[in-house]
Amino acid sequence: MRQSTRLTLRWLIHLILALAVLPARGFAQSTPFLSDDEIRMLQNEISGDRSFEHIRALSRWHRESGSEGYFKAVDYVLEAAKAAGLEEVRFVEQPLMSQSYTARTAELWMIEPVEIKLADIGDHALFLADGSHSANLSAELVWIGDANTERLKNIDVKGKIVLTSSSPGRAVVNAVWAKGAIGVVCYPTSEGKSILDFPDQIAWTRIPMVPPEGKQGTFAFVLSPRKGEMLKELLETGEMQDIFATGKRTKGGRVVLKAKVETEISEVLAKTGFVEGWIRGTKYPDQQIVITAHLQEEQGSANDDGSGCGNILELGRVFTKLIKEGKMPRPLRDIRFWWTDEIYSEYRYFMDNPEEPKRFLANLHQDMTGANQSMGNRVQHLIFAPHSRTSYLDAIFESVGTYVIQTNNAFLAASRQGGLPRPFTRPIYATRGTRQGYNARFVPYFGSSDHMCFLDAHIGVPAVGMINWDDEFIHSTDDDLDKIDQTQLQRNNFIVGAMAFVLSFAEKDDVRLIVGETYAQGAKRLSNDLQSAMDILRTGKGDAASRWKDALIVIEQGVEREVRAVRSAAVFAGNDKNSVSEVEKLAGHVRESGKEHVAAIQTYYRQLYGKTPSAVALTPDEQKAAKKTPTNNPQLAEYFQKRQQTRYRGGLHGLMREEVYRFVDGKRSYYDIYKAVRAEALTTGSWYYGTVELADVVGMLDAAVGTGALSLR
């Protein structure tokens, strides 16, 4: 019997034994992590309508970091969290490291050739760019295009207000501080969208608040693209016209504006911070569940992230009510609720309290979880952890999320011939929400919100997040209450609430289920790795030897990822040797599957190239990289400070740059880190994560060693 056949039979036996610990589910209408009674308990209590009322309150304020509006939102959440029954509710004050800014009044008028009010922050705060200084002046308006230095060479802007279609910051630097203009009017789009698609949207913008030495602060008004283009047309058309439809025909070619701005900018560094509330657990104080959303955003900002803030306020109410009524025991683990100044609050807290992250079991993050999905192209993305942090948490997330997806979308076989309710089999609806389906999908990791902080190299806490994308309304006047669906709020909050419920009560008796689900989910990932390896052998870059090396890297790193994921479930085993043993047995099965996958790609290689692949040989650069092992600066605050100072120009995708840091553990060499990150990019796709090359990984790590963020063992 050939070796490959023996491995196949052994793997089949292992698979049968492994599947014995898994619940038979398939295309399921349930999740093994929750009983039907527990599902009903949570669905009966979680309310998207209650969440919406919190969003209604928060959307009133322009919630820029450290501003008066931010602290009004803080005060609201403090009181609402206390009313929800959360314990030890407090504001955690933090230094902002910049001046605070609050706009009081701001109006922009056209006074020639006809009087028209163009902007007023009493209508919406986004008419004025954050960082604007007080002013009271009138001046001629001049068009400067996209405000680049070449365009400005032959334009006299001194003493004038400039009109640009570009970001206001560029105009401030190139036209005001460099050439003597006294103010800016702009009409950029939010997130680079086309002005043809969103002609009446006003983007959230900011300008540098602190001017260079010898220069004065200035202001920037922000108009919609439609209004900005009308001003431009008025400047460029000299004949009689009525472009603004005022009922008065006037001669174009010259425009005079009047700007009146009153803002308050502190002379000293400002404060920010976050609101925290607790539900205290009874047994495991060093395995805390942290549920996050962020308060800091622009006025309106109903979905980003009023939705998350409203939802976790509602979740706090639900849990405390269920505990009080005796329907739910007090959890075994602490549950902490954080309403943060996005990303900054977490990093600042970790630096100020470096021992605290060691007490965290997991982070569950909600950002943009209230989208009315009939408006725009918004899909709810359920974001897995990156490969460096794949764990039991991804398995619980996928199980609960899949339950909601399958029970809140229509399936012909279930309703027409299966006799189940129509259109959805176990729907989650809000009283005032839509009856739309739940358009959601699981996606590979991306950051851009608070969950990324917990995943960081020095923190290492499993975290998953929820963000809808593409969002046509983000960071603009359009992100308001009319784009919110209470039903989607309720569905997303059920997923996070169910996960928090499962995590808060899991013990050693649950290890078999958790590790079994983690193993089964990993088997699907390993199958994807195998397919990716075969694709590389067939269509990858380089010669056959290079393709073989990449294919092996994908299989090897996939196995290491899944071993880590399976072993992560041991956190619930404690000192129970039997539970730990079961975890290790499944980790062993993962390694056996890796051997079988290697045998499969060897066979495929022979079929493609008519020969057996040669043993992998490292290049001189790879050999050098294999001899260098980086370790993190042990001082957390210093580590983050030094890492921020690290500069390296390379071709790495931003998310893969983060992964390079996350794989640093004092054991992996430069070459090991390169292989792990390259495998992640190869299996996910260059369209998503770009291309990872050894030179970029080495250059980036060397730069971090140079600043002291890392050191070499």
Residue 131: how many CB atoms within 10 A of its CB?
Answer: 25
Please give the C-alpha separations between residue 680 and each of 387, 389, 398, 646, 686, in angstroms, as whole numbers.
7, 12, 19, 23, 10
Query: Which residue has tokens 């016209």?
Result: 241
Q: What is the pLDDT, as a whole number, of residue 192? A: 85
Topology of domain 31-98+288-506, CATH = Aminopeptidase (3.40.630)
Sign of CA dihedral 276, 282, 288, 291: negative
Mean pLDDT of 160-188: 97
What are 24-68's pLDDT values in tens digits?
A: 444 557 899 999 999 999 999 999 999 999 999 999 999 999 999
Where are the domains positioned within the chain? 1-29+507-615, 31-98+288-506, 114-254, 618-713
Backbone angles phi, psi at 139, to 5 degrees: -160, 160
Q: What is the pLDDT, as a whole number, of residue 420? A: 87
C-alpha closest to that of 33 among 356, 515, 399: 399
Mean pLDDT of 502-511: 97
Question: In sequence order, what are the residues at sequence separation of 6 or more whose Cβ sits closer than 8 angstroms to the Cβ of residue 70?
Answer: 61, 63, 64, 272, 295, 296, 341
Q: Which helix (H) or strand (E) holds 116?
A: strand 116-120
Question: In sequence order, what are the residues at sequence separation of 6 or more whose Cβ sits closer than 8 angstroms to the Cβ of residue 232?
Answer: 143, 163, 165
Q: What is the pLDDT, as a whole number, of residue 5? A: 35
Mean pLDDT of 439-444: 98
C-alpha closest to that of 694 among 712, 713, 677: 677
Query: Which residue has tokens 């309310």?
Result: 47
Mean pLDDT of 258-266: 96
Helix ranges restricted to H, 540-629:
544-568, 577-609, 620-626
* Banded pLDDT at 613 (limits 50, 70, 90): very high
What is the spatial distance between Cα 248 and Cα 251, in angstroms, rounded to a whole number? 10
What b/e readout covers 622-648, taking b as 16+ CB neighbours within 10 angstroms?
beebeebbbebbeebeebbebbeebeb
For residues 408 and 427, is the Cβ–Cβ distance under 8 A? yes
What are 194-214's pLDDT values in tens digits?
A: 888 999 999 999 999 999 999
- DSSP class of residue 357 equals G
What are 629-653's pLDDT values in tens digits?
A: 999 999 999 999 999 999 998 999 9
Six-digit token string for 147: 């405000």
Residue 625 pLDDT > 60:
yes
Please give the C-alpha separations between residue 286 and each of 347, 358, 361, 389, 634, in angstroms, as whole numbers.
20, 7, 8, 19, 21
Residue count (the chain)? 713
Topology of domain 114-254, CATH = Glucose Oxidase; domain 1 (3.50.30)
Helix ranges restricted to H, 342-485:
344-352, 392-407, 412, 451-455
Residue 315 pLDDT > 50:
yes
Mean pLDDT of 388-407: 98
Six-digit token string for 706: 């140079």
What is the spatial distance between Cα 365 and Cα 304, in angstroms, rounded to a whole number? 12
**Whole-number average pLDDT of the chain:** 94
Question: In sequence order, what are the residues at sequence separation of 6 or more whose Cβ sits closer than 8 angstroms to the Cβ of residue 596?
Answer: 7, 8, 11
Residue 353: how many CB atoms within 10 A of its CB?
Answer: 12
* Banded pLDDT at 178 (limits 50, 70, 90): very high
| Residue of 8 and 244 predicted with greater confidence | 244
Please give the C-alpha separations between residue 339 and each of 158, 276, 640, in angstroms, as whole numbers.
45, 7, 22
Backbone angles phi, psi at 123, to 5 degrees: -85, -45
* Banded pLDDT at 527 (limits 50, 70, 90): very high
Topology agreement, domain 31-98+288-506 and domain 114-254: no
pTM given for the model: 0.94
> Residue 519: exposed, middle, or buried by beta-carbon count in 10 A (0-12, 13-18, 19+)?
buried
Question: In sequence order, what are the residues at sequence separation of 6 or more whose Cβ sits closer than 8 angstroms to the Cβ of residue 100?
Answer: 66, 67, 264, 265, 266, 270, 271
Q: What is the pLDDT, as a whole number, of residue 267? A: 85
Mean pLDDT of 148-152: 93
Mean pLDDT of 546-559: 98
Residue 14 pLDDT > 80:
no
What is the spatial distance between Cα 402 and Cα 29, in angstroms, rounded to a whole number? 9
At position 224, the amino acid (one-letter code) is S
Strand, helix or coil for residue 165: coil
Q: What is the pLDDT, as a whole number, of residue 28? A: 57
Pairing relationship of beta strands 333-340 and 284-294 according to DSSP bridges: parallel
C-alpha closest to that of 495 among 410, 373, 396: 396
How large is the angle between the packed helices 392-407 and 544-568, nearest 10 degrees?
90
* Banded pLDDT at 397 (limits 50, 70, 90): very high
Residue 20 pLDDT > 70:
no
Query: Which residue has tokens 């793997």?
Result: 11
